[in-house]
């Protein structure tokens, strides 16, 4: 039988370590870059780690290293260089001219993965909005061959006109996308209103820590689960019955990652409003990860950016069945004494998680009853006082 072998683009990864950077965090970023490239369907041929006292203005990692990478790319047959940084258009142009191949940065790579995994119309709109926001400042670079810098008869006018036309088209598309997303957001607000006064919990955390698996277990749903970065981009909301608490609403949000493009965070902000409006945040971490501290810091920063730092939270260490070393679990328990340790394959630990959620629901209900009582008493006192 004839079979076709799917094409896998060969890529070379490069990263820069400067004295002010933490080496362990740098290694985590490089490991994530390999996973991101694999998720995008690429084959990682080589990984370069460059150490410099500071960032090179024109080429980020230095011209000498760029030439070394160019030679390696020709040797291994790689067509693309992926750099672990958010590069300026001028830097990308300079590097491309030297390596004579395609150059993309971390932001472009993540956007490409999001575009691959966007399944609903909202996710596609959000990804396109992020792409348009990233494209707009790069238009000047894209049309420099028609600009006044080149000179010559017949090049100045048409070039400037084409650049302005492209800018207007991109601006118009950004406006249209914002309008469509606003319409979807209004529909989501109506849906939230239809849920009444039900308790709302939101699963938040790093990408690929098992949030969707926990949602399926807690709600008996069948949300897509894959061992990939950003396997799901859409916020999935399900109703769940928790013994001792009754029916509640649980939402699974898009996974987080260090150094996410700010265009992407801005585009997905409407989706992440589920986090700031939740009554309880289930902060899910991968117990088997070597970079829990750094991932927790990333989650904290995003929650603060979403004005959700005051929302009550419950830390849940998932995939505890993958931790063979008892000292690792002991260290996590000492560092986060209030955390729960859960495995999707362990009914006892899932039951403990439901019990913890039930306690949070009861605390919230009691607090709301107390607030209502205080409000009623205050109003009654003001009426009696005249």
pLDDT tens by residue, 327-352: 998 999 999 999 999 998 888 999 99
Please name which of 196, 197, 147 lies closest in space to residue 167, comparing C-alpha atoms: 147
Distances (CA, A) of 69 to 12, 56, 66, 98, 298: 8, 16, 5, 10, 31
* End-to-end C-alpha distance for the chain, whole angstroms: 91
* Poorest-pLDDT segment among 166-170, 200-204, 305-309: 166-170
Residues 165 and 258 in one domain: no
Task: Tell which of 113, 134, 158 closes a domain.
Answer: 113
Residue 2 belongs to a domain: no
Reduce the DSSP state of residue 80 to 3 states and report it.
Answer: strand
As a residue count, the chain comes to 386
Q: Which residues, other chains included, contact 55 with Cβ-Cβ below 8 Å and sequence gap of 6+?
A: 16, 18
> What is the residue range of 134's domain?
118-179
Q: Kindly list the strands in the beta sheet with 236-242, ordered across the sheet, starting from the edge strand earlier in the chain.
A: 236-242, 246-252, 199-205, 280-286, 313-318, 340-341
Residues 214 and 264 in one domain: yes
Pair 261, 86: CB distance under 8 Å: yes
Residues 355 and 208 in one domain: yes
Task: Tell which of 151, 179, 207 closes a domain.
Answer: 179
Residues 141 and 279 in one domain: no
Residue 290 belongs to a domain: yes
Residues 32 and 140 in one domain: no
- Torsions phi, psi of 270, nearest 5? -65, -35
pLDDT over 90 at 280, yes or no: yes
Q: What is the mean pLDDT of the chain?
A: 81
Residues 280 and 305 in one domain: yes
Residue 315 has a pLDDT of: 95
Residue 1 belongs to a domain: no
Residues 98 and 123 in one domain: no
Residues 281 and 344 in one domain: yes
Please name which of 108, 88, 133 lies closest in space to residue 42, comparing C-alpha atoms: 108
Residue 184 belongs to a domain: no
Reduce the DSSP state of residue 302 to 3 states and report it.
Answer: helix
pLDDT over 60 at 181, yes or no: yes
Residue 343 belongs to a domain: yes
Handedness of CA 165, 167, 168, 174 (dihedral sign): positive
Q: Which residue has the higher pLDDT, 144 or 196?
A: 196
Using the structure block, give the residue that is written with the tokens 């009623």.
376
d(C-alpha 262, C-alpha 165), whole Å: 26
Task: Tell which of 113, 135, 167 closes a domain.
Answer: 113
Residues 202 and 331 in one domain: yes
Residue 339 belongs to a domain: yes
71-103 CB burial, b ≥16 within 10 A, e <16: ebbeeeebebbbbbbbbbeebbbbbeebbebeb
Residues 283 and 227 in one domain: yes
Residues 57 and 161 in one domain: no
Q: Could you give the percent of the chain with pLDDT greater than 90? A: 28
DSSP code at position 93:
H
- Torsions phi, psi of 286, nearest 5? -90, 110
Q: Which residues, other chains included, contact 323 with Cβ-Cβ below 8 Å and sequence gap of 6+?
A: 287, 288, 329
By CB neighbour count within 10 A (0-12 exposed, 13-18 middle, 19+ buried), where does 140 fall? middle
Residue 382 belongs to a domain: no
Beta bridge partners of 44: 11
Residue 154 has a pLDDT of: 39
Residues 203 and 306 in one domain: yes
Residue 386 has a pLDDT of: 57
> How many domains, in total, are found in the chain?
3
DSSP code at position 25:
H
| Segment 73-100, tens digit of pLDDT | 999 999 899 999 988 888 988 999 999 8
């Amino acid at each position: 039988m004839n079979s076709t072998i799917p094409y896998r683009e060969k890529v070379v990864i490069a990263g820069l370590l400067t004295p002010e950077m933490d080496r362990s965090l740098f290694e985590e970023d490089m490991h994530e870059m390999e996973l991101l490239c694999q998720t995008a369907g690429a084959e990682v041929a080589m990984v370069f780690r460059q150490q410099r006292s500071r960032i090179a203005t024109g080429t980020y990692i230095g011209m000498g290293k760029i030439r070394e990478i160019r030679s390696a790319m020709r040797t291994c047959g790689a067509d693309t260089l992926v750099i672990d940084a958010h590069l300026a258009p001028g830097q990308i142009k300079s590097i491309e001219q030297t390596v004579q191949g395609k150059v993309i940065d971390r932001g472009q790579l993540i956007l490409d993965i999001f575009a691959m995994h966007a399944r609903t119309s909202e996710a596609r709109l959000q990804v396109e909005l992020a792409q348009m926001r990233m494209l707009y400042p790069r238009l000047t670079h894209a049309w420099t061959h028609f600009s006044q810098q080149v000179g010559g008869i017949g090049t100045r006018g048409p070039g400037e006109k084409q650049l302005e036309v492209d800018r207007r088209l991109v601006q118009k598309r950004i406006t249209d996308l914002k309008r469509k997303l606003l319409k979807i957001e209004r529909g989501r607000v109506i849906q939230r209103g239809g849920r009444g006064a039900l308790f709302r919990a939101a699963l938040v955390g790093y990408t690929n820590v098992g949030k969707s698996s926990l949602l399926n277990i807690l709600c008996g749903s069948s949300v897509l689960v894959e061992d990939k970065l950003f396997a799901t981009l859409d916020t999935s909301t399900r109703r769940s019955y928790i013994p001792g608490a009754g029916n509640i609403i649980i939402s699974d949000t898009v996974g987080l990652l260090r150094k996410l493009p700010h265009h992407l965070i801005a585009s997905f902000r409407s989706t992440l409003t589920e986090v700031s409006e939740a009554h309880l945040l289930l902060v899910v971490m991968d117990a088997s990860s070597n970079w829990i501290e750094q991932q927790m810091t990333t989650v904290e920063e995003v929650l603060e950016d979403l004005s959700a730092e005051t929302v009550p939270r419950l830390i849940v260490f998932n995939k505890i069945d993958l931790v063979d070393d008892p000292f690792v679990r002991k260290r996590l328990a000492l560092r986060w004494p209030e955390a729960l340790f859960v495995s999707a394959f362990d009914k006892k630990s899932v039951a403990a998680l439901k019990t913890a959620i039930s306690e949070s629901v009861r605390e919230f209900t009691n607090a709301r009853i107390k607030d209502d009582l205080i409000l009623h008493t205050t109003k009654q006192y003001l009426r009696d006082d005249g």
